[in-house]
Structure 1
Amino acid sequence: MRRLWAEPAALASPRGQQVRGRFPGAEVVEVESHWGIPGLHGNAGNVERWVRVKTEDLVLGVKKSLAARPNGRSADFIAPSTANGCAMACAYCYVPRRKGYANPVTVFTNIDDITGYLARHIRRQGPKPEPNQCDPSAWVYDLGENSDCSVDALVSDNVADLVALFREEPGAKASFATKYVNRGLLDLDPRGRTRIRFSVMPPADAKQLDLRTTPVPQRIAAVDDFVAAGYEVHLNLSPVVLRGGWLHDWAELLTHIDDVLSPAAKAQAAAEVILLTHNEDLHEVNLGWHPRAERVLWRPDLQERKRSENGAVNVRYDRANKGRAVQAVRDLVARHAPWLPIRYAF
């Protein structure tokens, strides 16, 4: 890490000092806001450094707005972020759409404010009145909406603090998706109150689209270890990318998962199926650093445009193609991994 961009209050905090101590050789540059860093955000020239930025730059900020947003798909609530951005470089990631040509990790250092807010929010909910697709008995809070918690845990103790919080909350669970195997998480003693969702896709897709991530076979191989360490471990079949041979490759992947997971892992597993959503602006960015990815991500013959709540133009598979694909994945799971319930698919 070469540069540490930091809001003064974030740098002065105990968590900020911890992060600075992990990168003692980094140049510290104070900034007014973690969102508006001259030369980093909004700099189209950074497209040529898309991956290097992730290895050279780290940002410290203070999370200003604390809210747990209702969700209802993967989780009951989206928890306030403790980080933003990622050291990995998945070609379809939606976070860079908001950050402008750069997506390094931003660590929010006011972790006590965030965990305190979450503890109060959990207790206000009371017991969960009935089962839903998120969980039969616990309120589920999604962590790391805009980051990957397994990577975040390499940078600071924010994730360890969140796991510790939910460990003491019998009515709630933390949940996060990841594409990185961080075995340091095995020592956090979650006691069943944190759900890790390992994202998996056919290795051929991951090699082209999931840059700087843990290879898919290694993600699958880690499942049993995380179950043994006290995590609930689910699988995200995500993203499903429609291209030639995709059904065959997903069948092979599901067969491999069925072959290698233990009975204990299978007994507690569940899955989400998420088809690819892409974005017009990100498509243009990708053409500047990874055009090969766009050959499969950008498919106007299969996709339709949809304007998001923030005004961005997203593209997703049109209704007919999406409906057929979702059913095809359901059929593959039923055939090759019948022990794997699908919590939701979209």
Structure 2
Amino acid sequence: MTSPTTTNARRDPQPLLDVTRIYAEPDALASPRGRQVAARWPDAEVVEVASHWRIPELHGDEHNVRRWVRIKREALVLGVLKTVRTRPNGRSADFIAPSTSNGCAMACAYCYVPRHKGYSNPITVFTNIDQITAHLVRHAAKQGTKPEPNQCDPTDWVYDLGENSDCSVDAMISDNVADLIGTFRDLPNAKASFATKYVNRDLLDLDPQGRTRARFSLMPADTAKLLDIRTSPMAERLAALDDFVEAGYEVHVNFSPVVVEDGWLARWADLLDALGDATSERTKAQVACEVIFLTHNEQLHQVNLGWHPQAEEVLWQPRLQETKRSQNGQLNVRYAWRAKQGYVEQLLALIEERAPWCTVRYAF
């Protein structure tokens, strides 16, 4: 079901990655996908670990805050996904696909993934890709024809890829993403979907034939410079939208996270104008957006103070935010409910004014 790929032609991952140490479960390293990844950095030290999840040098050590970005650049983990399962979603996608990786080389200041992984979150590549794609084929077959349209898609079951990673970066490391796109290309009733903050033009060669939705995350450029660390500049993301449509992707955008700060609506007006200027009529005819306002986390706030305190000046604003205890017991903050309703209404009105062609799938 997967398609052959040309590993040697893949984009060079530098400067995002300059791997000097690979932590590997033995079974992962011995697998074809594990050998492929390790071969990309032949000079890297390989350290055998019992589990990809708990590596003392990486996870749970507060001193790693000072090496936050360095760990992301220099460390890579190879593991086997032990539990291969698909979970229901219903908001952005109908289902969350099994992860083929975890962690990210980028360092967005609001990212939730580090909350679950201690004080660093370098990329973990799961090497049992054949098991994962076979599971997805079986799962989609069991669903049959989608009975009615919903906010995820009018005709297809949508599977979200890269829940805890960024597929555009993952595609520079291994063929996992290419194999996933190839799998969904052949499924008559399902499509893949992934969100990204990085422009990897190698993805343009994967021939998705409309069966993969790429969702480019957008925010005002000045805000992104502060918060979207090690990601593609906003102008580069905007410039890629038409090209991905032409290459056979369905292209959506995520206005996420929306951060309320001085002049935020004027900044969003500029972004919406730039989005309109950057996109063709063909792109506008199929694009839709998700609007997601910032949710932050007390633990991540403390981590950020150790490596990027400037970000917390806009992310952590107690006068605007209220607390909410998450299901796992962590303390999250979000904009106070009544005020947030007003923020949402203001931004939706602005989208209708500046980009009426952009369908809003949902906003919260």
Shift of residue 314, structure 1, vs aligned partner: 1.1
**Which residue matches 2:8?**
none
Q: SS where residue 37 of structure 1 aligns?
A: coil
1:259 matches 2:277: yes
The residue aligned with 1:102 is 120
> What is the identity, as a one-letter code, of the residue corresponding to 1:122?
A
| Distance in 2 of aligned mates of 1:322 and 1:216 | 25
Aligned: 1:14 with 2:40: no
Match of 1:27 in 2: 45
Match of 2:101 in 1: 83
How far 1:309 moved relative to its partner?
1.7
Q: Greater shift after overlay, 101-110 or 304-313? A: 304-313
2:249 is the alignment partner of 1:231 = yes
- In the alignment, structure 2 segments of 5+ residues that lack a partner are 1-18
Give the equivalent residue in structure 2 for 1:68: 86
CA separation in 1, counterparts of 2:330 and 2:81?
Answer: 23
Residue 163 (structure 1) shift: 0.0
Structure 1 residue matching 2:306: 3-state secondary structure: helix
**1:62-211 maps to which residues of 2 (within 5 A)?**
62-211=80-229
- Correspondence for 1:36: 54
**Are 2:74 and 1:56 aligned?**
yes
Match of 1:277 in 2: 295
Percent identical residues: 68
Aligned to 2:234: 216
Deviation string, structure 1 residues 150-193 (Cα, Å, up to 9, x no partner): 00000000000000000001211100000000000000000000
Match of residue 304 from structure 1: 322
Q: d(CA) in 1 for partners of 2:76 and 2:66?
A: 18
- Secondary structure in 2 aligned to 1:186? helix
TM-score, length of structure 2 as denominator length: 0.94
Q: Distance in 1 between matches of 2:200 and 2:299?
A: 31
1:39 is paired with a residue whose SS is coil
**CA deviation after TM superposition for structure 1 residue 290, in Å:** 0.3
The separation in 1 between residues aligned to 2:230 and 2:347, in whole angstroms, is 26
For 1:185 and 1:259, the matched residues in 2 are separated by: 23
Unaligned runs of 5+ in 1: none
1:268-293 deviation per Cα after TM superposition (whole angstroms, max 9, x unaligned): 10000000011000000000000000
Deviation, 1:66, is 1.4
**RMSD in angstroms over aligned alpha carbons?**
0.6
Partners of 1:75 and 1:214 in 2: how far apart?
Answer: 24
- Deviation, 1:321, is 1.8
CA distance in 1, matches of 2:188, 2:317: 45
Matched residue SS, 2:77: strand
Q: Secondary structure at the match of 1:50?
A: helix
TM-score by length of 1: 0.99
Structure 2: how far apart are the matches of 1:307 and 1:125? 35
Higher mean Cα deviation, 97-106 or 303-312?
A: 303-312
